[in-house]
Amino acid sequence: MNQYPLAVAIAALIHNEKILLIKRVKGSYIGFWGLPGGKIEKNEHVSDAAIREIKEETGIPCQFKEHLGLVSEHLTEKKEVVQHFLLHLCRLHPQTAQFVESNEGALAWFELKELPQHQDEIIPSDYAIIENMVLRKGKNYYNCVVEKLGNQHAILQFE
């Protein structure tokens, strides 16, 4: 496990009642769809990191709208924390719906009303974030624990 939590900016890009997701090809959630984003670099503001990461992963220029909240996520294996993420959720306004795929993974717009049909394909914590923080506009802080069991992931806590 890293000595410190990994600070990450993730973005909710919504256009015409659809949300943009990326299919992860590296990291802890390979093969799962998730919110685009990435590490916050040294001396970088969260808003700037979100805009930069979205541009790098999707080619979409965006405008920062708001910081929706923070999720402190522990990824565990056999009840041991193997990774601690601090996920800063940002709402960005895409200046276009046209994306350019990068080496980060496939991209797709998902109908918000049809997300429950894809729940098993989406990173569990990202699904909970979309459901609780983007769609319902619930709390702006959550503690999250995801247990990794082989290639499966299960949320043990999201509160």
Give CA–CA dist 20/40, Å, rounded: 20
Q: Is the predicted pLDDT of residue 15 greater than 90, yes or no?
A: yes
User: Fold for domain 6-158?
Assistant: Nucleoside Triphosphate Pyrophosphohydrolase (3.90.79)
Residue 3, C-beta contacts closer than 8 angstroms, at least 6 positions apart? none
What average pLDDT does the segment 62-67 reach? 96
pLDDT, position 28: 80
Residue 106, C-beta contacts closer than 8 angstroms, at least 6 positions apart? 22, 23
Each domain of the chain, given as residue ranges in start order, spans 6-158
Give CA–CA dist 73/93, Å, rounded: 25
pLDDT, position 137: 83
Q: Where residue 149 falls among pLDDT bands split at 50, 70, 90?
A: confident
pLDDT, position 117: 97
Averaged pLDDT score across all residues of the chain: 94
What average pLDDT does the segment 128-149 reach? 93
Q: Where are the alpha helices (DSSP H) in the chain?
A: 46-58, 124-129
Q: Is the predicted pLDDT of residue 1 greater than 70, yes or no?
A: no
pLDDT 10s digits, 20-43: 999 999 888 899 999 999 999 999
Using alpha carbons only, what angle is made at residue 28 by residues 123 and 15, rounded to the nearest 5 degrees?
40
CA 60 → CA 69, 121, 135, 157, distances in Å? 22, 23, 22, 33
pLDDT, position 7: 97
β-partners of residue 80 are 77
pLDDT 10s digits, 84-133: 999 999 999 999 999 998 888 999 999 999 999 999 999 999 999 999 99
pLDDT, position 2: 64
